[in-house]
Amino acid sequence: MPGIFEPLTGGGAAVALDEVEISIIRSLAVQLLELIGPGPAENAPDDPLAELFAEGPSEPPSDPVLQRLFPDAYGGPDAESGPPEQAEERRAYSSEFRRFTENDLRAGKRETALTVIRSLDALSPGGDGGAVLELSREQSEEWLRALNDLRLAIGSRLEVADEEDTDLLYRLPDEDPRKPMVMAYLWLGGLQESLVSTLMT
């Protein structure tokens, strides 16, 4: 069935995508790559050990999308509650954790987005421009992570904080300028849900 992942023998998943769907997913994955930014290797010295032990940023990113993709480890609704010294301590822990983990997290998200782009680029479109995407189990798990990242990014731009916000999106009028982004958000959610179901069978 078009737009719905189905299981493959051996544990993978397959989905039929038309030309427009392929273009949308690829474009979103490229935009995600650009948002995450280049990896440490882009400006790292020739010594691979120096890159391995390179420290990342200690402050949260300013972009709301990147804040959603790379949240504080000790954040959450109660992060600023309690005595000031406890809030300060949590901020210090978050800063230290971010410094040693964000580079790796960014590298992982870049690789996940690249997996999506490469698998789409490897498709052989039919006469109508569509194709059947077949993924191994490992690729399916990468796609699942990528779909989640894309939905987090779009949801952040749409200021989706909870299920109630999602319900409101369904009722937006067609003339609302957010409508195309909303349709992509909901469609990716359906793809993600079908892939989760497929991998659980």
Distance CA 190, CA 184 (A): 10
Distance CA 168, CA 31 (A): 26
Is the distance from CB of 3 to CB of 21 less than 8 angstroms?
yes
The predicted structure's pLDDT at residue 172: 87
**pLDDT truncated to tens, each residue of the chain (201 aa)?**
457 999 998 889 999 999 999 999 999 999 999 999 875 444 445 555 555 455 776 677 888 898 888 888 776 545 555 667 777 777 777 788 777 778 888 999 999 999 999 999 999 877 777 899 999 999 999 999 999 999 999 999 998 877 777 778 888 888 999 899 999 999 999 999 999 999 997
Radius of gyration of the chain (CA): 19
pTM of the model: 0.81
Q: What tens digit of pLDDT does each residue of 21-76 get?
A: 999 999 999 999 999 987 544 444 555 555 545 577 667 788 889 888 888 877 65
The predicted structure's pLDDT at residue 16: 94
**Residue at 141: amino acid letter:** E
The predicted structure's pLDDT at residue 58: 65
The predicted structure's pLDDT at residue 39: 57
Q: What is the DSSP letter of 39?
A: -
The predicted structure's pLDDT at residue 88: 78
Is the distance from CB of 29 to CB of 17 less than 8 angstroms?
no
The predicted structure's pLDDT at residue 171: 85
Is the distance from CB of 169 to CB of 111 less than 8 angstroms?
no
The predicted structure's pLDDT at residue 1: 41
Distance CA 141, CA 69 (A): 18
- 3-class DSSP state for residue 13? strand
Tokens 């397959």 locate to: 14
